[in-house]
Structure 1
């Protein structure tokens, strides 16, 4: 199969072609390569070889000799389709037995040829015997991927004579559940014809699945005014959705015509439909990659992390706008100069924002930069001497214990994490507000976390299969991860969880929280965890957000945070999802606990922060 490199990776598409039993497989591969295709989908055995495999008598020949291709060609260029009429779930015993023998033989032949993937079509709802055989093989460690071929919409849903309707997602979900969500299982979806398009909510659910390829029959192409094949707008919209998860495409010829035109059109479509925006450029290579949240109070950030933060001009422009409005609102009488303290100054982007405002408004500002990282202070000293004309006072101390010579009018910080409070912004700013005047302003003023139920088998499998040697599997599932989510389905809209406001002049500050949220599932799906987001009010009407509905355009600083569940939970349409969530703390740490309460009750995750916590010291 094909992978693009560099800038072309997300613009071009990988296209294969289905050819049923070509007379000459070597010639077929050479021809499709000339046309521009990247791989061939074809049967591994040949229908000319009749195979009755009862009583263990295997015929000597089952198909073409493996010598028709080099091993490197079998292992890169051929997806092997298994015989479609095999029925290991037949209720007729001798058919079931013969089918099982045929199926095992073909699986063995696929192993012998080292093909990268095999293609198996599901043709009915009951596939338990098929799943058992494949699950045995998956657990015995065979090397190829298994592609399960199903239509996006089953014909029974629009047939006037069908006695019952089938949802092929249910077929797929049952099958992969039997196989314990093995990561080598993927889907090949057949595009529906133009008269029977997929509802948007179902398409979003498919985007949350491990879709390996989409099959497009040539009869679905229209002819434009130049006599060239094109897809309808509705089909283009479907393909655009799947571009986010980098699926491949399989052309299935069911009409006459020049086969090279279809692959050329799909390459064109890839460039036409793919939008290379700021976010997609920034996150390339990070898709669905698990990152541990930062521990900024106990671990000094490194240059590369500061560098990533500082690339987000939108965030700093928004902060600068908030500082501008705050200083503009500061009274001018008696020649008072506002005192601005940037706490957690890092390498100085917020300090620069404050100075920019001072120049723009032509107003003097007294600026302090408080930063505990001694290596970042080294950078700040250079900027004070060579960029800022000694207009900034540097303080190399922890904001929670620093005793300033004067109090600030404006406190500016960027201590927010993907969940708002998960990098201990509340604790830091509660400590730092000692040196803020009672009339002073904190930027940010407030922030709120949000939670949404999530289906992502990709994330579930990433956690399950990448366990560090020093952690148990339970530890891994009790750890939240920062993830740029791509291959996922958000089951319901996010709901508000915890809020914090600064300054907080309460006599007894309490940053522990508890809340129970209830969501409703609008279609059958699988719950694998919860995705967390946040919104913040910096000052008055100046906001930043990673909430999916209010996301600040082109801002790339924060990815969502994911709180996993140890096992996927099957949800039916209309089911209630209830989760309890805690923010807890002790003298030296802060942690989250979460517990699924419906549709089934689960154990409380991460009790006492046993698997994950944020250190205070």
Structure 2
């Protein structure tokens, strides 16, 4: 039942199941077919029956009656749960079992501080997991850990985590989904079934809660518990979250935290639905937005409708219902009332009676109203953005960085870059503006005929060459264009373009740009270039050796008026939580021991930002001459993205002169580079120390890297590109050429509330290659002092650095 990857222009596919917490009938083939006829894709089934539950309770009662006072449990024989009998389980191996989600007993308590209850619970759990695996079940829904036992909190969480890890070994192919509420609300556990084993925990192990003082709700309490369990299970890819959505969703920050986790099920209980004015079941706008966001994940979660009533017609095998199409009238599908409406809260008895009549009439027309509404949402998902359409198959997919100086790229690689709808337009604008300013300022050119000489270095398949020619036409300036490319295969294509598209206006040069001596003049000497255009930037700006390449070709640039496009670029960092990426790297580690020391290029999607800041306040608007605030809407917090370092071009001539002196190891060049080599490239090393505030507790799996670049800064202002999520919308909206870079951590870093993460980042070189090193420290303030909580390994990508 794996969901397909959402790629291209396909709309998200909703896989919808039905779950009854107290399912009375076994899920037979006939029941499953009836559910499918109603429009469901799957059903849940309990692994054991009420008969088995009763037998375990009898065993517990018998043990307690025979308990010898004064003897601890370790000195007595603990009760043994007997093997399952046919009367204890409705499951049996079948062809349709793959269309069912097995549910472990919700009445056990694996986290109980009472060793007797924990012992019985583990036996029941292991019996159910082993039998489900035997029957061929692939997906198991497991009740999340009980966090409160009287006044004790999370006392048995480690026991629960160990039980889950053991279950993953019992069922080698099982996918375990832990049913977790979005927030930790202690009072919600008090309403559980009276036959739950947690109710029988003995007083000496549980600090009884007197119920007079309310226990506070912890917004991130259940996430904390999940983090412990999956950490103990070493981020197993067979362990994921079944998230129970409450009637009122928590703050967006909490939603984003869960969104970054491996969501496999979204559970919608009947209590999460509201009833609109027409008596139809609907979800609030925040629920719709959260579901829509989750359904755009690379692996979209399934939806599980919980306790919304039995499957219609289940007692009448001859009743076949039409498939739920999700085609609703506008009135039926209308959003729920506003938060100020009385219907947004729990209705009064009078309102309930009135609504019951409306709902009853609706149910006669639609026997599956909840399902119909979810199908309606499926059919009316908002269209995908440009970035989503382009990168649907690349979300959270790890890619090794390119080695453009040592590898000759394939045509398909160039083609992917050229699909960008923004980058090349912005480059053309930058070149055209530079030409206009050149003309306005009356600068002299490097050509003999007064044309401005433009060289596109690293021209690939030639998109920037085309834009340079067009920019000359737009600016009304005569240009002389050179295309410099070392790739012999791309060189063939460039010549064809020159013959068929550029009408022989371009001079094609096959060479490494650093070895090019400049335009060849009629007298056999070499001239200079007025405007040097390149697209050598990588995901972190300088990770594909743009500084080294442009330093190497700068000798051909007009020393008086020469312009480099881009003129400068900056690298940016922020810590992120990326559980999916961390799990993927763990899976790669056995085959690639350097996987945790590789800066990965990745389209970051299912992540959460560890350090955030409030967005800028919304501007005031005027209505009838009166300035008014915009309606208050909860907006996502912005990531705290900080600048690590920058590069500017052309580089200072004195810096390059010193670099040339050091090259070759002459005495005047000093004692060599700090990390090896002559030190000729040491001017391109960088170091940054950045501090990030963590207002909420969370976990850091690594660092996300972005860049901003000024292509040209002239009379008309700056023309910029950005992958920085804070500035991209403003500077280069919908640009898709560059995915961010991810610097992973071998061991995830826990950041307590109101702590700080200090990030140290180096760009290193030994004249043969360039690599990065990174280190993270965690601090809290105590008694006016900054106390270090932890220190990561010093990670280094030297073994797979970018070769020069």
Q: Following the alignment from structure 1 to structure 2, what is the Cα–Cα distance between the partners of residues 407 and 496?
A: 34
Who is 2:647 aligned against? 500
Aligned pair 1:51/2:55, yes or no?
yes
Who is 2:27 aligned against? 25
Match of residue 546, structure 1, among 717, 723, 741: 723
Of the structure 1 ranges 385-394 and 90-99, higher mean CA displacement relative to structure 2 is found in: 90-99
Q: Following the alignment from structure 1 to structure 2, what is the Cα–Cα distance between the partners of residues 339 and 532?
A: 35
> Are residues 99 and 407 of structure 1, via their aligned partners in 2, closer, same or farther at CA, if it must alter by over 3 Å?
same
Once the two structures are superposed, residues 306-339 of structure 1 have per-residue CA deviations (whole angstroms, 9 ceiling, x without a partner) of 1101111311011001011011111276872111
Contact in 2 for aligned 1:21/1:46 (Cα 8 Å) = no
Match of residue 348, structure 1, among 453, 457, 462: 462
Q: Following the alignment from structure 2 to structure 1, what is the Cα–Cα distance between the partners of residues 451 and 553?
A: 21
Contact in 1 for aligned 2:187/2:215 (Cα 8 Å) = no
Match of residue 60, structure 1, among 76, 85, 100: 85
Who is 1:433 aligned against? 554
Deviation at 1:22, TM superposition (A): 4.1
Deviation at 1:433, TM superposition (A): 1.1
TM-score by length of 1: 0.93
Of the structure 1 ranges 32-41 and 375-384, higher mean CA displacement relative to structure 2 is found in: 32-41
Aligned pair 1:229/2:281, yes or no?
yes
Equivalent residues in 2 for 1:153-302, closer than 5 Å: 153-156=183-186, 161-166=213-218, 167-194=221-248, 197-224=249-276, 227-245=279-297, 246-254=300-308, 257=363, 258=366, 260-302=368-410
Q: Following the alignment from structure 2 to structure 1, what is the Cα–Cα distance between the partners of residues 215 and 490?
A: 70
Q: Following the alignment from structure 1 to structure 2, what is the Cα–Cα distance between the partners of residues 203 and 407?
A: 57
> Are residues 30 and 140 of structure 1, via their aligned partners in 2, closer, same or farther at CA, if it must alter by over 3 Å?
closer
Q: Following the alignment from structure 1 to structure 2, what is the Cα–Cα distance between the partners of residues 162 and 427?
A: 63
Who is 2:176 aligned against? 146
Who is 1:615 aligned against? 803
Contact in 2 for aligned 1:480/1:563 (Cα 8 Å) = yes
Of the structure 1 ranges 107-116 and 356-365, higher mean CA displacement relative to structure 2 is found in: 356-365
Equivalent residues in 2 for 1:357-372, closer than 5 Å: 357-372=471-486
Query: If you compute each CA radius of gyration, which structure gives the higher value, 1 or 2?
Result: 2
Instruction: Determine helix, strand or coil for the equivalent of 2:395.
Output: coil
Match of residue 374, structure 1, among 485, 488, 511: 488
Q: Following the alignment from structure 1 to structure 2, what is the Cα–Cα distance between the partners of residues 360 and 482?
A: 36
Deviation at 1:62, TM superposition (A): 4.9
Once the two structures are superposed, residues 575-615 of structure 1 have per-residue CA deviations (whole angstroms, 9 ceiling, x without a partner) of 11011110011121111011123241122111xx4432000
Equivalent residues in 2 for 1:35-46, closer than 5 Å: 35-46=38-49
Q: Following the alignment from structure 1 to structure 2, what is the Cα–Cα distance between the partners of residues 466 and 84?
A: 35
Aligned pair 1:458/2:576, yes or no?
no
Once the two structures are superposed, residues 505-547 of structure 1 have per-residue CA deviations (whole angstroms, 9 ceiling, x without a partner) of 2412411011111101121111111010000000021111000
Aligned pair 1:3/2:19, yes or no?
no
> Are residues 262 and 610 of structure 1, via their aligned partners in 2, closer, same or farther at CA, if it must alter by over 3 Å?
same
Once the two structures are superposed, residues 265-299 of structure 1 have per-residue CA deviations (whole angstroms, 9 ceiling, x without a partner) of 22332343443111111111111110000000000
Q: Following the alignment from structure 2 to structure 1, what is the Cα–Cα distance between the partners of residues 598 and 701?
A: 14
Instruction: Determine helix, strand or coil for the equivalent of 1:363.
Output: coil
Unaligned runs of 5+ in 1: none
Once the two structures are superposed, residues 25-82 of structure 1 have per-residue CA deviations (whole angstroms, 9 ceiling, x without a partner) of 1233222211222111231111133433733532533544544x623x212x111111
> Are residues 481 and 155 of structure 1, via their aligned partners in 2, closer, same or farther at CA, if it must alter by over 3 Å?
same
Q: Following the alignment from structure 2 to structure 1, what is the Cα–Cα distance between the partners of residues 504 and 8?
A: 43
Unaligned runs of 5+ in 2: 60-78, 148-153, 189-210, 310-359, 519-525, 612-639, 657-682, 779-788
Of the structure 1 ranges 371-380 and 593-602, higher mean CA displacement relative to structure 2 is found in: 593-602
Q: Following the alignment from structure 1 to structure 2, what is the Cα–Cα distance between the partners of residues 191 and 491?
A: 23
Deviation at 1:10, TM superposition (A): 4.2
Contact in 2 for aligned 1:51/1:59 (Cα 8 Å) = no
Equivalent residues in 2 for 1:397-412, closer than 5 Å: 397-404=511-518, 405-412=526-533
Instruction: Determine helix, strand or coil for the equivalent of 2:438.
Output: coil
Deviation at 1:226, TM superposition (A): 5.3
Q: Following the alignment from structure 1 to structure 2, what is the Cα–Cα distance between the partners of residues 600 and 89?
A: 28
Deviation at 1:99, TM superposition (A): 1.9
Who is 2:790 aligned against? 600
> Are residues 448 and 8 of structure 1, via their aligned partners in 2, closer, same or farther at CA, if it must alter by over 3 Å?
closer
Instruction: Determine helix, strand or coil for the equivalent of 1:393.
Output: strand
Aligned pair 1:573/2:577, yes or no?
no
Q: Following the alignment from structure 2 to structure 1, what is the Cα–Cα distance between the partners of residues 290 and 214?
A: 26
Moved >6 Å (runs of 4+)? 157-160
Match of residue 445, structure 1, among 532, 550, 567: 567
Instruction: Determine helix, strand or coil for the equivalent of 2:37.
Output: helix
Aligned pair 1:81/2:81, yes or no?
no
Q: Following the alignment from structure 2 to structure 1, what is the Cα–Cα distance between the partners of residues 2 and 280?
A: 25
Deviation at 1:301, TM superposition (A): 0.6
Q: Following the alignment from structure 1 to structure 2, what is the Cα–Cα distance between the partners of residues 323 and 109?
A: 69
Who is 1:391 aligned against? 505
